[in-house]
Amino acid sequence: MGGRPRKPMAQKVLQGTFRADRNPVNEPVIAPPKADTVRPPSSLNKWGKQFWKEHYQQLVDAKILTAADMPAFEMMARSWGDYKQADWDITHGDGGKKRTMAQYRSEREYNRKQMPEVMERKESLEAFNRIASQFGMTPVARNKIDIPQKKETDLLSEMYEETRVKA
């Protein structure tokens, strides 16, 4: 199918571009995640769990993360954890001592494309970026979402407007 990919109704409402006449009548409304999904899955490594803890609540509060999105969010956290693990394997030796990329290359005696950690890091970062853009977690993706600011009005102004409209 050609054209732009469809946006969910919630995203259109956040952007202020929602029009009922251009929206599907029966678009599914998906509930937020269940309370038991707040904790990260045990299968994630330490960096994946840290990512989960830092970003889960922000996405739920922004109404971006729903119950149906949990597998994609888990894959995003897993990709981030795999990227960080591969990066740590490159920048630290067997004893946990820091090393440079040149030291890594000389220790491994491979050319750059044959180093498994480098390829794993690259693939994990690409997977993370693909999924993160779907959640609005990259600068370009965030730029597409315009969340309207809540107006702060005082009670006196509201009362004045109400009496003025009735008169």
Check: CB of residue 121 under 8 Å from CB of residue 90.
yes
Residue at token pair 């109704």: 9
Check: CB of residue 134 under 8 Å from CB of residue 72.
yes
What is the C-alpha separation between 78 and 101, in angstroms, rounded?
24
- For the chain, the structural domain boundaries read 9-147
What is the C-alpha separation between 107 and 118, in angstroms, rounded?
14
The first and second tokens of residue 5, run together, are 């990919």
Q: What's the DSSP call for residue 92?
A: B
Residue pLDDT, tens place only, 74-128? 999 999 999 999 999 888 877 788 988 888 878 777 666 667 888 899 999 999 9
* Statement: the pTM of the whole predicted model exceeds 0.75: no
